[in-house]
């Protein structure tokens, strides 16, 4: 029997959040590909031309539409996925509004060829601007092909607002990448202007889908994560703390298989990375959150990317814990000269076509050095499809980097301090690697952690300055500081009002030694002027700035001082970064060195 498509009743229609609008080629792509996924396809091919403005084709091998329902599929509020409001609370399909095909058909020329396995012929239906032009029987395989041409030909206003081909392609690439990654059990093919961009294997392995959609270098920078708690599960990949990008485009989050933009989750992800990535950079992730469907509301917004959780707090805590734990256990050492040489080796094969989805998503994803290797390795995308298996082997083969937690666990066993360079970096030899430690970053992290601990335990010890320091402030700063005096006192500063908009500092926290200068107080006031009412922010700013000022710049360290610093690293938990997110330690393996000297290939 063919699956029934019916028009929803008014009550249900009224319950569904306002109708969706087809606003650009990427929205067409999203709707068509989601329909293919809902149709149970195991293979979906997307082809676009000129950013999808001229041509979009989606072909699937799903269940198809029975001949008696083909026209109905194009009517408003017609769907096979829900029948009444009761179903709204338990949606397991991506679509449910029954509006997409109708909306697309109204503003384009759309052709559908579809066949169910019960019929030995298919139906071809052609609709132009909402009017049926052709309907005929046709021979075709089981499944559905939809071709959308000349989008917005009859709505000049929207036509005018379409972006350049490359900008629209970028949007489409994002959509198909997200859908491919949330359905690793489906093999997705993506073709742009006759170039094969990627094909995912469809073998249910997220890792291999990531390698196909992006590339193996990106994959190498990801940490696997899997975490369970009674009725909630988080799984997928998160980026190494040093693999960051300038925006949040590569934070891909799914809830129950549906791509969402959840401010709540994004915020928790960033929170878990706080102090571990450099300021103004954003971590990357491909994460699936599975929760009881009755505990979310997907009906918030027609574009369906926003979501509401019933148990927000549980979700927040769980996600935070899971990420923090994965980071602690799996952060690898940033490499000194990562993979640059490999790039040189492959430079003959630089590709013109490139991997559009990968390009767009990754280009900014890879900061400085990683980027280099990406560009050089693009050649590998040409015949990448039949090399995916090989890629995969390489990925697992070379995944033997130094994990920070195990490095710290065995740090004290056997290490050799080679010395110090530029009065700033300590060189350490250990096992088959050598390490460069930024002594200032390390020192800053150490005193910062100790200071926090003391504050937490209310055990801050102060020391009296031999020469009290007088600070002159503007009236505005003076008021701000007076209002926040409590925070300074809590941290072991003794500051008093000294008349005429000035204050006198008599004591500072012992742990800071003697801060070199007190300009940090001006800096804190500058920074917090607008945020001073945010609880905790002021104190955090004081701690960070004060620790910074306590660090000595360009100091020659003797062996004992170096040894002490190195051994104190042992007390830290990964990732090893200073409180501002910069790395403390870099590694270079003997293997890399020998490769660079061409002793080994
Ligand atoms: P919705 O997906 O919200 O139900 P659509 O307008 O996208 O609404 O599609 C209407 C109906 O057409 C779907 O419910 C489904 O029954 C049918 N349909 C659309 N695309 C496909 C497809 N690729 N394969 C099988 N059936 C499809
Ligand atoms: Mg749909």
pLDDT for res 526: 84
CB-based contact 374:366 (threshold 8 Å): yes
Buried b (16+ CB within 10 A) or exposed e, 356-389: bbbbbbbeebbeebbbbbbbbbbbbbbebeeebe
* Mutation choice for ligand 1 from 2, 35, 91, CB with most ligand atoms inside 8 A: 35
pLDDT for res 376: 31
CB 39 less than 6 A from any atom of ligand 1 = yes
CB-based contact 387:206 (threshold 8 Å): no
Distance 288 CA to ligand 1 centre (A): 25
Q: DSSP character for 331?
A: P
Distance 123 CA to ligand 1 centre (A): 15
Alpha carbons 226 and 215: distance in angstroms, whole number:
22
* Mutation choice for ligand 1 from 12, 27, 38, 56, CB with most ligand atoms inside 8 A: 38
pLDDT for res 79: 87
Residue 9 predicted with pLDDT over 80: no
Nearest alpha carbon to residue 218 among 402, 434, 381: 381
Residue 283, strand partner residues: 244
Dihedral angle over CA of 208, 266, 572, 576, nearest 10? 60
What pLDDT, in 10s, does the model give residues 458-476? 889 999 988 999 999 999 8
Question: Can you list the alpha helix ranges (DSSP code H) found in 347-397?
Answer: 356-362, 368-377, 388-397
Nearest atom of ligand 1 to the alpha carbon of 100:
6
154's CB contacts (< 8 A; 6+ apart) are 107, 129
pLDDT for res 528: 78
CB 81 less than 6 A from any atom of ligand 1 = yes
CB-based contact 246:364 (threshold 8 Å): yes
Distance 292 CA to ligand 1 centre (A): 25
Residue 380 predicted with pLDDT over 50: no
Q: Which residue's alpha carbon is nearest to atom 7 within ligand 1? A: 100
Alpha carbons 323 and 225: distance in angstroms, whole number:
7
- Common-topology check for domains 10-162 and 402-601: no
CATH number of the structural domain 10-162: 3.30.565.10
Task: Give the Cβ contact number of residue 511 at 10 Å.
Answer: 22
CB 65 less than 6 A from any atom of ligand 1 = yes
CB 20 less than 6 A from any atom of ligand 1 = no
What pLDDT, in 10s, does the model give residues 26-63? 999 999 999 999 999 999 999 999 999 999 999 999 99
Q: DSSP character for 532?
A: T
Average the pLDDT over each of 11-20, 106-115, 163-172, 313-322 and give the range with the smallest value.
11-20
Alpha carbons 455 and 536: distance in angstroms, whole number:
13
Average the pLDDT over each of 112-126, 223-237, 555-569 and give the range with the smallest value.
555-569
Residue 146, strand partner residues: 58, 112
Nearest alpha carbon to residue 110 among 82, 145, 147, 135: 147
* Mutation choice for ligand 1 from 73, 148, 188, CB with most ligand atoms inside 8 A: 73
Considering the chain, what is the average pLDDT of its residues? 84
For the chain, the domains span 10-162, 222-330, 402-601
Nearest alpha carbon to residue 566 among 414, 348, 359, 374: 414
CB-based contact 332:403 (threshold 8 Å): yes
**Architecture field, domain 222-330:** 2-Layer Sandwich (3.30)
Residue 122, strand partner residues: 138
Alpha carbons 432 and 245: distance in angstroms, whole number:
31
Residue 82 predicted with pLDDT over 60: yes
SS3 content of the chain, % helix, strand, coil (to 5): 40, 25, 35
Q: Which residue's alpha carbon is nearest to atom 1 within ligand 1? A: 98
CB 31 less than 6 A from any atom of ligand 1 = yes
pTM reported for the whole predicted model: 0.79
Nearest atom of ligand 1 to the alpha carbon of 101:
6
394's CB contacts (< 8 A; 6+ apart) are 216
What pLDDT, in 10s, does the model give residues 316-329? 999 999 999 999 99
Alpha carbons 97 and 28: distance in angstroms, whole number:
15
Nearest atom of ligand 1 to the alpha carbon of 64:
25
Alpha carbons 572 and 503: distance in angstroms, whole number:
36
CATH class of 402-601: alpha beta
Distance 33 CA to ligand 2 centre (A): 8
CB 79 less than 6 A from any atom of ligand 1 = yes
SS3 per-residue string spanning 433-469? EEEEEEHHHHHHHHHHHHHHHHHHCCCCCEEEEEEEE
- Kindly state the tokens that stand for 394: 């390489």
What pLDDT, in 10s, does the model give residues 302-359? 555 677 888 889 999 999 999 999 999 999 888 886 554 333 333 333 333 345 555 5
Residue 198, strand partner residues: 190
Q: Between 535 and 411, whose confidence is greater?
A: 411
Residues 428-444: what's their mean pLDDT?
92
Q: Which ligand sits closest to the CA of 100? A: 1
From residue 140, give the alpha-carbon distance in Å to each of 5, 47, 74, 122, 137: 21, 19, 20, 6, 9
Distance 197 CA to ligand 1 centre (A): 26
349's CB contacts (< 8 A; 6+ apart) are 378, 379, 380, 382
Q: Classify residue 120 by burial, with Cβ atoms within 10 Å: 0-12, 13-18, 19+.
A: exposed
- The number of residues in the chain equals 601
pLDDT for res 564: 92
């Amino acid at each position: 029997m063919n699956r029934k498509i019916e028009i929803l009743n008014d009550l249900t229609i009224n319950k569904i959040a306002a109708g969706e609008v087809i606003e650009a080629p990427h929205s067409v792509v999203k709707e068509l590909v989601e329909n293919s996924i809902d149709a149970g396809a195991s293979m979906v091919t997307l082809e676009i031309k000129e950013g999808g403005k001229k041509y979009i084709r989606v072909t699937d091998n799903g269940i198809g539409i029975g001949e008696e329902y083909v026209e109905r599929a194009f009517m408003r509020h017609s769907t096979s996925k829900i029948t009444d409001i009761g179903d709204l609370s338990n949606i397991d399909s991506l679509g449910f509004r029954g509006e997409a095909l109708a909306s697309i058909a109204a503003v384009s020329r759309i052709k559908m060829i579809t066949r169910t396995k019960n019929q030995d012929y298919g139906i071809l239906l052609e609709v132009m601007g909402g009017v049926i032009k052709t309907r005929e029987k046709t021979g075709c395989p089981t499944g559905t092909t939809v071709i959308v041409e000349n989008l917005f030909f009859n709505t000049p206003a929207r036509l005018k607002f379409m972006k350049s081909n490359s900008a629209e392609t970028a949007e489409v690439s994002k959509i198909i990448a997200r859908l491919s990654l949330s359905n690793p059990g489906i093999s997705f093919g993506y073709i742009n202007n006759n170039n094969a961009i990627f094909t995912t294997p469809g073998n249910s392995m997220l890792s291999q889908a990531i390698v196909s959609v992006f590339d193996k270098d990106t994959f190498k920078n990801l940490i696997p994560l899997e975490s369970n708690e009674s009725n909630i599960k988080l799984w997928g990949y998160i980026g190494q703390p040093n693999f960051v990008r300038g925006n949040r485009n590569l934070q891909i989050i799914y809830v129950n298989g549906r791509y969402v933009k959840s401010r709540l989750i994004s915020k928790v992800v960033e929170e878990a990375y706080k102090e571990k990535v450099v300021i103004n950079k954003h971590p990357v992730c491909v994460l699936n959150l599975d929760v009881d469907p009755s505990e979310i509301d997907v009906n918030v917004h027609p574009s369906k990317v926003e979501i509401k959780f019933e148990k927000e707090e549980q979700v927040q805590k769980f996600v935070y814990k899971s990420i923090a734990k994965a980071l602690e256990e799996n952060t690898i050492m940033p490499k000194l000269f990562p993979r640059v040489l490999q790039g040189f080796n492959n430079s003959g094969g630089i590709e013109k076509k490139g991997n559009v989805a990968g390009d767009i998503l990754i280009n900014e994803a890879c900061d400085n050095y990683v980027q280099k290797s990406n560009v050089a390795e693009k050649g590998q995308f040409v015949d990448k499809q039949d090399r995916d298996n090989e890629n995969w082997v390489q990925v697992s083969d070379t995944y033997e980097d130094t994990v920070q937690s195990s490095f710290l666990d065995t740090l004290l066993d056997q290490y050799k301090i080679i010395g110090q360079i530029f009065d700033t970096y300590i060189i350490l030899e250990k096992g088959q690697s050598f390490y460069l430690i930024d002594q200032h970053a390390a020192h800053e992290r150490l005193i910062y952690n100790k200071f926090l601990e003391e504050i937490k335990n209310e055990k801050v010890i102060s020391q009296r300055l031999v020469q009290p320091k007088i600070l002159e402030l503007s009236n505005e700063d003076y008021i701000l500081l007076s209002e926040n005096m409590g925070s300074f006192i809590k941290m072991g500063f003794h500051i008093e009002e000294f008349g005429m908009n000035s204050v006198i500092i008599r004591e500072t926290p012992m742990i800071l030694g003697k801060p070199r200068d007190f300009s940090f107080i001006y800096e804190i006031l500058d920074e917090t002027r607008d945020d001073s009412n945010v609880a905790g922010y002021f104190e955090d700013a004081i701690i960070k700035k004060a620790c910074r000022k306590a660090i000595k710049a360009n100091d020659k360290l003797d062996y004992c001082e170096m040894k002490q610093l190195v051994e104190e690293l042992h007390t830290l938990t990964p990732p090893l970064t200073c409180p501002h997110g910069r790395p403390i330690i870099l590694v270079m393996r003997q293997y890399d060195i020998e490769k660079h000297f061409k002793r080994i290939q």
